[in-house]
């Protein structure tokens, strides 16, 4: 989607390795979110940010950490990847939070 | 706590038939409600949203949704489905407090038969 880019688009990694996913926006939006999508669960919130260096946990934050050192970048790190973290990860941005999001195209992560 | 239920996991309709996808929410105050669509391998695209006012909301691609407070529902409808509507549809509710996180339902996968 225009204004929001996720990288990489696909990644295969081994159990126990660290992995960082990047979300980059050009919209200067305050709010950024990381979700994971799994069959039967819809999208579940991992972490979110409401400003530079301001982040908080979502409903499925265990095993994940985030950082936001610049408005435009929101990084999601799996400190030690596990097979249960195989998923599609979506980043979203919002200017006003609850008024709706714009989503990135997703990152498909496979942990083997 | 907020929650969203989409009772139908899969729905199959014939092209040209009408469509209704169900969404029920749990939220103490007036919610912000959304419908998103996801085509295979793609991100989510906003179809429509409800904040206040007229309870019948028009969206893109010919979709509409009706907010019914008494039933805690926000069902998505389309009078005539096209083959290109085959996708997964997600209902979401947003809070007016905190940092306005969206809570999503599990999704309904729509198949369209020719």
Per-residue H/E/C for B7-55: CCCEEEEECCCCEEECCEEECCCCCEEEEEEECCCCCEEEEEEECCCCC
Q: Is the pLDDT of residue A35 over 80?
A: yes
Q: Which chain A residue has its CA at the smallest distance from B9's CA?
A: A40
Mean pLDDT of chain B: 91
Mean pLDDT of chain A: 93
CA distances from B6 to A66, B11, B28, B65, B107 (A): 30, 11, 18, 14, 6
pLDDT in tens, A58-100: 989 999 999 999 999 999 999 999 999 999 999 999 887 556 7
- Identify the pLDDT of residue B101: 80
Range scoring the smallest mean pLDDT among B20-24, B25-29, B81-85: B25-29
Which residue do the tokens 């989503």 mark?
A103
Q: Give the SS3 label for residue B105.
A: coil
Choose the mutation target among B33, B34, B43 for the interface with A, i.e. most A CBs under 10 Å. Answer: B43
Residues paired with A25 in a beta bridge: A4
Contacts of A103 in chain B (CB under 8 A): 36, 43-45
- Identify the pLDDT of residue B51: 86
Put simply, the chain A residues between 11 and 40 with a CB less than 8 A from any chain B CB are 31, 33, 35, 40
Contacts of A98 in chain B (CB under 8 A): 32, 94-96, 100-102
Q: Which chain B residue has its CA at the smallest distance from A54's CA?
A: B99
Q: Is the pLDDT of residue B95 over 90?
A: no
């Amino acid at each position: 989607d225009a204004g929001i880019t996720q990288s990489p688009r696909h990644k295969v990694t081994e159990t126990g390795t660290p992995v960082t996913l990047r979300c980059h926006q050009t919209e200067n939006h305050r709010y950024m979110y990381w979700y994971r999508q799994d069959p039967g669960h819809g999208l579940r919130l991992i972490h979110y940010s409401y400003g530079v260096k301001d982040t908080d946990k979502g409903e499925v934050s265990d095993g994940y950490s985030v950082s936001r050192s610049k408005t435009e970048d929101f990084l999601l790190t799996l400190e030690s990847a596990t097979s249960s973290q195989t998923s599609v990860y979506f980043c979203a941005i919002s200017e006003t939070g609850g008024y709706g999001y714009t989503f990135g195209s997703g990152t498909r992560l496979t942990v083997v | 706590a907020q929650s969203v239920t989409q009772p139908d996991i899969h729905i199959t309709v014939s092209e040209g038939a009408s469509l209704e996808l169900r969404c029920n929410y749990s939220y103490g105050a007036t919610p912000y409600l959304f419908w998103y669509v996801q085509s295979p391998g793609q991100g989510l695209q906003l179809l429509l949203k409800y904040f206040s006012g007229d309870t019948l909301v028009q969206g893109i691609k010919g979709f509409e949704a009706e907010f019914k407070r008494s039933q805690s529902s926000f069902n998505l409808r389309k009078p005539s489905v096209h083959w290109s509507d085959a996708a997964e549809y997600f209902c979401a509710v947003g809070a007016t407090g905190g940092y306005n996180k969206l809570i999503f339902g599990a999704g309904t996968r729509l198949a369209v038969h020719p």
